[in-house]
Amino acid sequence: MNRLGKNMKRVLVAAAAAAATFAGAADVRASSFAPRHALKFDRPAEDSHAGWENESLPIGCGWFGASVFGGVASERIEFTDNTLLVGGNLDGIGRSSGRRGMGLTSAGCLRIDFPFGTADGYTRSLSLDEALAEVDFTVDGVRYTREFFASYPARVLAGRLTASKPGSLSFAVRFDTYKFDRTAEKRASGRTLDVDQRFGKFAVRHALRVLIDTDGTVTADGESLKVTGATRADVFLAGKSNYRLEPRVFLEPDPLGKLAGNPEPRPEAERLAAAAAAAGYDALKAAHIADYRALYDRVSLDLGGTDAERKRTTLELKAAYAKGEESAYLEEVLFQFGRYLLIASSRPGTMPANLQGTWACGERSPWGSGYWHNINVQMNYWPAFSCNLAECFEAYAAFHEALRPAARKIALSFLEKHVPENVPEDGESPDLWVTGCVVYPYALQGMPGGNSGPGMGGLTGKMFADWWDYTQDKAALERYIRPALNGLADFLVRTTRNYDGLNLAVLSASPEMLVNVERNVYPGAVAYQTVGCAFDQQMIAESVDDARRIGGFKGIGAMNFDPVQIGRSGQIKEYREENYYGEIGMYHHRHVSQLVGLMPGLMISPLTPAWCDAARLTLRERGDWATGWALAHRLCLWARSGSGDDAYRLYRTLIAEKTYANLWDSHPPFQIDGNFGATAGVAEMLLQSRLGEVRLLPALPRAWSRKGSFRGLRARGGYEVDCEWQDGKVVRFDVRGGAGRPKIVLPDARGCAKGPAKLRLERASMTLSWEPSPQDGAVYTVLRNTQSLPEYVTLATGLKSCLFTDKTASFPQEDYITYKVVDGSGAFAIKTFSRATRLEKQRYLNFLRSKGAVEPGAPWIPNTKAPEKSLEELE
């Protein structure tokens, strides 16, 4: 795969203002830092599901995940493998509701029991710098330590236990398994403990070997191993299932045929454990740290975190932060934690990261730990490219390649059902694909429809487009990217029909949008289905563009997807049939699907200023209430629109309210998408790019503006970027790699000056008036937007008065007109006027009132009350 480094072309550009004070790029490296970012606790996680979700320390390497509880008398390490599935039936939707639904399960718990109960000086930490979990305490003057890591190269969990007093370490090891829909056999002998399990309908086999290497004595006792008189003991755990990622596993209808004939996993588990023990703990640890740091160390972020903060526990920091204190350190930690979690849950050859990454607890994981394709799994990979972890995406790419033959069948069924005239001829369009929302390692469920439209495929396509744009990886282009993008574009174009010159998705739905929530208590409400909603149109347009640009897709002539429409509130319409914001569906819905063209898409951006302003208005109306991942999406959207302070406000809310004590994201329940989305959002605040253009600090919030730096973020075009700033200004930057020299866009000097206010329109004469900017001698520019055009038309510049008559637009010719008046400092007033009649306005006001407060039926359903508005506001 393409790696930076080789033949790296250096493009060193120093910001003019500070160029003289820095000698060269080496200074950036020298002045860079490696602060120790860690999660810290002064107590064990409670020995329960809640303890797992709140305070366990996740380690992993993609091959497996493990959660360290750190109990004094009994260590519990929940061990998971993303291929162990129980429950449900093949056709049923594997929702989390109902304990028996289909879903991934934990392999069980490694238990290490000690002959003591209470301890002094307890600490438990997870170092993000080295991917090590540590537990440390003292009992009766003897210091006991435990250290665990998950090695990607060795595919084992390794742990070292020590006692400061020779011979005083004694413990028993067992492996507890769960009961639902599985069988388990356990055997201890010599210094090994073996567990063989068989899970669910697909008869998944999982073999596990625990092996102990110690200076004490090991004895096997039934199903456990006992260690006595030790000073040091190393524990190696290798687990392996008989899952094989290949098209058959999705296509085969016979549940027992999916894995039939695959090699038994036991020999491999034994080989891995023996190889680890032969290498020895120290060598394994050194190789683990080298492997991990090769990815992790590529990016650093310094927002000013201090040593004093570093010494506090994560809980203390979070509690103070929730009360409004600042903690640059915690903000750095959450950013890097997302990178850590991606490295720990998605590596080449492993399963991709699911809703919980690679961590599970108990009989059945929340939401079954599926791959949800209406934003969640895609959000998992949003930081992969910008945060310099492109290799982590290879796990998803391989998964996608394997599921494509099954996804082709879904694409064909969708067309047969909804757009039969566009079903390809036999032998045509071999790469066609789409998935429904829910995908498990053994099955693709459903097809696009009422829950989310076919544009869902576009969210997946964006990952492949970004893979190419950020890395320019030609091998990946040929094998994965081109077929994925071209097959998707081919399918999406076929989902449209020409309606009066517009190519609109025939069956279209904005993800998870429900109507009648006010009248029926969820889940009695129904999903809203329509034609050509913004979500589908934006994703279709982006996918076709990407496929043409990157994959050489030629399938169609000119088509008009009309992906962005502005409505009478000045909003980006979610539905073509909507006039004012929120007329259809839930006012404060967690999904913001009408803005997918802003993130993860690129069609709405500061280069389309009228759309960007409409996007900001839409975000404000949608509101800040959201679940974890949905807050992260809002954070990314604000960042992309250039509003750093809004993005920062949501980052704070995420940390304070939507993370557990171990900083796992809370939907609730724990979903890892919000961790990844938050990390991606921070990267978007600091660096944005499109081909040929790199924007530095495009959404730097005031809270971070005094001083800071990042190193190693990636930009489209294959660049790696460092940047240092002070007082909101870039003082140094370095752009490496890539092809050619991109245009560098420095941040605007952003004043907080008050500007013009209260735009009014006298409709008979189309005269616009406003209250002046407070500063003397202000001069104004008047801009206008109509007909959903991406840019404003400049009507006047250099205006000294606060009056302007628009002679070139009027009602009712226009459905809406947005005016924007900007003063010399950049401060502005903006307002949308519409041709709506008084009757229509009154209806909308009354409609908003009818959206009464309904108590949410589930934690992810917002209170449905819409804000009160006045006739005057509607103008």
In terms of CB distance, is 408 or 590 closer to ligand FUC? Answer: 590
357 DSSP 8-state letter: B
In terms of CB distance, is 47 or 512 closer to ligand FUC? Answer: 512
User: Could you say which of 79, 137, 528, 860 contacts ligand FUC (CB under 6 A)?
Assistant: 860
783: enclosing H helix or E strand: strand 780-785
> At closest approach, how far in Å is the CB of 512 from ligand FUC?
4
**CA gap 638, 634 in Å, rounded:** 6
> At closest approach, how far in Å is the CB of 490 from ligand FUC?
26
Within residues 390-429, the interface with ligand FUC by CB under 6 A covers none
Scanning 370-378, 414-422, 533-541, 694-702 for contacts with ligand FUC by CB under 6 A, the matching segment is 370-378
**CA gap 509, 625 in Å, rounded:** 22
- Asked if residue 512 binds ligand FUC (CB under 6 A), the reply is yes
Tokens representing residue 141 in the block: 């003057």
Give the torsion sign (CA, 291, 293, 298, 301): positive
Contact 753, 825 (CB under 8 A): yes
Cross-strand pairs, 189: 192
DSSP 45-111: PPSSHHHHHHHPEEEE-SS-EEEE---SSEEEEEEEEEEEEESS-SSS---SSSTTSSEEEEEEEEE
Within residues 671-690, the interface with ligand FUC by CB under 6 A covers 671
Within residues 538-597, the interface with ligand FUC by CB under 6 A covers 590
In terms of CB distance, is 576 or 589 closer to ligand FUC? Answer: 589
**CA gap 300, 302 in Å, rounded:** 7
Cross-strand pairs, 695: 688, 745
**CA gap 218, 232 in Å, rounded:** 12
Size (the chain), residues: 875
In terms of CB distance, is 365 or 627 closer to ligand FUC? Answer: 627
> At closest approach, how far in Å is the CB of 674 from ligand FUC?
9
* Number of other residues whose CB lies within 10 A of the CB of residue 3: 12
Lay out the sheet containing 156-163: strands in order across.
38-41, 120-127, 132-139, 142-151, 156-163, 232-241, 204-214, 192-199, 182-189
In terms of CB distance, is 258 or 667 closer to ligand FUC? Answer: 667
> At closest approach, how far in Å is the CB of 637 from ligand FUC?
16
Identify the three-state secondary structure at position 143: strand
738 DSSP 8-state letter: S
> At closest approach, how far in Å is the CB of 668 from ligand FUC?
10
> At closest approach, how far in Å is the CB of 590 from ligand FUC?
6
Within residues 143-172, the interface with ligand FUC by CB under 6 A covers none
- Asked if residue 372 binds ligand FUC (CB under 6 A), the reply is yes
In terms of CB distance, is 619 or 672 closer to ligand FUC? Answer: 672
> At closest approach, how far in Å is the CB of 355 from ligand FUC?
6
Residue among 19, 9, 35 at smallest CA distance from 709: 35
User: Could you say which of 667, 732, 784, 831 contacts ligand FUC (CB under 6 A)?
Assistant: 667
- Asked if residue 460 binds ligand FUC (CB under 6 A), the reply is no
In terms of CB distance, is 369 or 832 closer to ligand FUC? Answer: 369
Contact 156, 237 (CB under 8 A): yes
> At closest approach, how far in Å is the CB of 352 from ligand FUC?
15
> At closest approach, how far in Å is the CB of 451 from ligand FUC?
7
Rounded to 10 degrees, the C-alpha dihedral 41/42/48/52 comes to 10
In terms of CB distance, is 452 or 832 closer to ligand FUC? Answer: 452
> At closest approach, how far in Å is the CB of 672 from ligand FUC?
11
User: Could you say which of 41, 152, 199, 367 contacts ligand FUC (CB under 6 A)?
Assistant: 367
CA distance readout (Å), 64 to 158, 213, 271, 345, 349: 12, 22, 16, 8, 12
How many residues touch ligand FUC (CB under 6 A)?
12
Cross-strand pairs, 163: 144
In terms of CB distance, is 125 or 376 closer to ligand FUC? Answer: 376
175: enclosing H helix or E strand: strand 169-176
195: enclosing H helix or E strand: strand 192-199
Crossing angle (nearest 10°) for helices 482-494 and 456-471: 150
> At closest approach, how far in Å is the CB of 129 from ligand FUC?
31
Scanning 9-17, 302-310, 368-376, 497-505 for contacts with ligand FUC by CB under 6 A, the matching segment is 368-376
Residue among 116, 114, 137 at smallest CA distance from 125: 137
Cross-strand pairs, 689: 694
- Asked if residue 665 binds ligand FUC (CB under 6 A), the reply is no
In terms of CB distance, is 328 or 631 closer to ligand FUC? Answer: 631
Scanning 226-234, 367-375, 387-395, 720-728 for contacts with ligand FUC by CB under 6 A, the matching segment is 367-375
User: Could you say which of 127, 471, 571, 627 contacts ligand FUC (CB under 6 A)?
Assistant: 627
> At closest approach, how far in Å is the CB of 511 from ligand FUC?
6
> At closest approach, how far in Å is the CB of 209 from ligand FUC?
34
Cross-strand pairs, 157: 150, 237
In terms of CB distance, is 367 or 396 closer to ligand FUC? Answer: 367
- Asked if residue 470 binds ligand FUC (CB under 6 A), the reply is no
In terms of CB distance, is 451 or 618 closer to ligand FUC? Answer: 451
Residue 841's contacts (CB-CB under 8 Å, 6 or more residues apart) are: 871, 874
User: Could you say which of 374, 543, 569, 818 contacts ligand FUC (CB under 6 A)?
Assistant: 374
Q: Tell how strand 719-726 and strand 729-737 pair up.
A: antiparallel
> At closest approach, how far in Å is the CB of 372 from ligand FUC?
4
> At closest approach, how far in Å is the CB of 647 from ligand FUC?
21
Number of H helices, E strands in the chain: 21, 38
Tokens 């319409």 label which residue? 573
User: Could you say which of 376, 679, 788, 818 contacts ligand FUC (CB under 6 A)?
Assistant: 376
Scanning 369-377, 749-757, 772-780, 842-850 for contacts with ligand FUC by CB under 6 A, the matching segment is 369-377
Tokens representing residue 722 in the block: 């460092």
**CA gap 707, 15 in Å, rounded:** 15
The residues that touch ligand FUC, with contacts defined as CB under 6 A, are 355, 367, 372, 374, 376, 512, 590, 627, 629, 667, 671, 860
